Amino acid sequence: MENLKPKIGILLGDPSGIGPELISKLLAEDELNKANVLIIGEKNILEKANKITGLNTKLEFIETLDQIKFDEKTKFFLDITKGRNCSYEISKCSSESGQSVLNALNLALDLVKSKKIDAINFGPFNKTSMKLGGSKFEDELHLMAEKLEVKNFFCEFNVVDNFWTARVTSHIPLKEVPKHIKKDKIIQPIKLINETVKLNGISKPRIAIQALNPHAEFGDEEEKEIIPAIEEAKQLGINADGPLPCDTSFITAFKNKNHDCIVGMYHDALQSGLKAFGFDRGVTVQGGLPVPITTPAHGTAFDIAGKNTANLEPTLQSFKIALNIAKNKVQ
């Protein structure tokens, strides 16, 4: 009889970066025994990573999904090499590395659609390599959303020490931000982060909302759009607070532990604070998708790839979040 532990798909990440060696380390962690684990990738990439880390966790290598029996074993490696004989150059963007990532990711997303896995945890991708490899999307989140046919609002969350952030706008020029600061757009990430953080184990998340303008007063967006969005959130039973001035918001919300998460109006207002307090501990969660999909926030780190110096902690935390949300969703 198959056990009821969540099924987590793990991807090695860009083979030219630190992803494979981080996954090599992750596979040796006891935390993985709480899940049914399916690693998806090319066997030679993991073998190369194992030589770097000096680890070699026992896995059941398979070539087809019908070989999986989670009642007997909990860690399977689905080898998708299929005749590919690429020698991936460390610390270099390439179409070959991008294709490797896309092959594994697309298969994992197919497994999500067919309900074969409950979550995805992946080693860092490189957006340039993915584009060289054929991706038409600006980032992996938009690729995932299209592949999974997501029609609802979705966005990226960043997490440090279980403190969550979400943005109303993301990768757009600063001059274009104000026209996007509308009540209907502000309420979307507030609602989504509230739902997601609940699934991660906080029953009544305390959500801070950042202002747009200095001191929350040099402009009218706060009065016309942000405060009405906060009031609407409160009417929905969401524990929303603000608007908080950006320059002190992370001291109030994160450092002083007055909130569990924060929603900002634009990229740098959030990321500057979050990275100042915990750049080396960050996790990215793809929010609004049918299953939790997580990764460490630090990227492929070409400068240290192959040196076995990459810190496992963000990758381990990203796995824990994927596992926790998947477990609560299954229940």
Q: Is the distance from CB of 153 to CB of 188 less than 8 angstroms?
A: yes
Query: 258 and 167, same structural domain?
Result: yes
Query: 136 and 17, same structural domain?
Result: yes
What is the pLDDT, as a whole number, of residue 109?
98
**pLDDT band at 211; cut points 50, 70, 90:** very high
Q: Of the residues 276, 302, 319, which one is the last residue of a structural domain?
A: 276
Residue 139 is which amino acid? D
In a domain, 281, yes or no: no
CA distance 229 to 186: 6
In a domain, 116, yes or no: yes
Percent of the chain with pLDDT over 90: 85
The helix (run of H) or strand (run of E) holding residue 167 is strand 163-167
Whether pLDDT at 69 is above 90: no
In a domain, 1, yes or no: no
Query: 170 and 143, same structural domain?
Result: no
In a domain, 283, yes or no: no
Residue 291 is which amino acid? V
In a domain, 284, yes or no: no
| Secondary structure (H, E, C), 217-239 | CCCCHHHHHHHHHHHHHHHCCCE
Query: 199 and 82, same structural domain?
Result: no
Q: How many domains, the chain?
A: 2
Which DSSP string do the residues of 33-82 spell out, in sequence order?
GGSEEEEEE-HHHHHHHHHHHT-----EEESSGGG--TTT-SEEEEE--T
Q: Is the distance from CB of 58 to CB of 75 less than 8 angstroms?
A: yes
pLDDT (mean) for 92-106? 95
The count of C-alpha atoms lying within 13 angstroms of the C-alpha of 158, restricted to the half-sphere facing its C-beta, is 22
- Top pLDDT among 1 and 294 is at 294
pLDDT (mean) for 179-186? 97
In a domain, 80, yes or no: yes
Instruction: Write the CB contacts of 190 (distance below 8 Å, at least 6 apart in sequence).
Output: 166, 207, 209, 229, 230, 233, 238, 240, 263
What is the pLDDT, as a whole number, of residue 61?
93
CA distance 100 to 84: 9
What is the pLDDT, as a whole number, of residue 3?
75
In a domain, 232, yes or no: yes
**pLDDT band at 331; cut points 50, 70, 90:** low
Which DSSP string do the residues of 242-288 spell out, in sequence order?
EEEPHHHHHIIIIIT---SEEEESSHHHHHHHHHHHHGGG-EEEEET
CATH number for position 193: 3.40.718.10
In a domain, 100, yes or no: yes
Whether pLDDT at 289 is above 70: yes
**pLDDT band at 68; cut points 50, 70, 90:** confident
CA dist 123 → 17, 240, 319 (Å):
9, 33, 10
**pLDDT band at 330; cut points 50, 70, 90:** low
Whether pLDDT at 210 is above 70: yes
What is the pLDDT, as a whole number, of residue 254?
95
The count of C-alpha atoms lying within 13 angstroms of the C-alpha of 288, restricted to the half-sphere facing its C-beta, is 20
CA distance 212 to 229: 13
CA distance 43 to 32: 19
Whether pLDDT at 150 is above 70: yes
What is the pLDDT, as a whole number, of residue 14?
97
Sequence length of the chain is 331
Query: 118 and 62, same structural domain?
Result: yes
Query: 261 and 209, same structural domain?
Result: yes
- Top pLDDT among 13 and 71 is at 13
Whether pLDDT at 72 is above 90: no
Query: 136 and 21, same structural domain?
Result: yes
CA distance 274 to 263: 12
Instruction: Write the CB contacts of 175 (distance below 8 Å, at least 6 apart in sequence).
Output: none
**pLDDT band at 1; cut points 50, 70, 90:** low
Token digits for 19? 């992803």
Q: Is the distance from CB of 132 to CB of 100 less than 8 angstroms?
A: no
Query: 167 and 143, same structural domain?
Result: no
Query: 139 and 17, same structural domain?
Result: yes
Query: 134 and 14, same structural domain?
Result: yes
Highest mean pLDDT among 101-110, 131-140, 279-288: 101-110
pTM: predicted TM-score of the whole model, two decimal places: 0.93
Query: 160 and 145, same structural domain?
Result: no
Tell me the pLDDT of the chain averaged across its residues: 94
Please state which of the ranges 17-21, 69-73, 192-196 shows the lowest mean pLDDT: 69-73
Q: Of the residues 235, 252, 276, which one is the last residue of a structural domain?
A: 276
pLDDT (mean) for 57-80? 88
Query: 138 and 17, same structural domain?
Result: yes
Domain that holds residue 104: 7-150+289-330
What is the pLDDT, as a whole number, of residue 293?
98
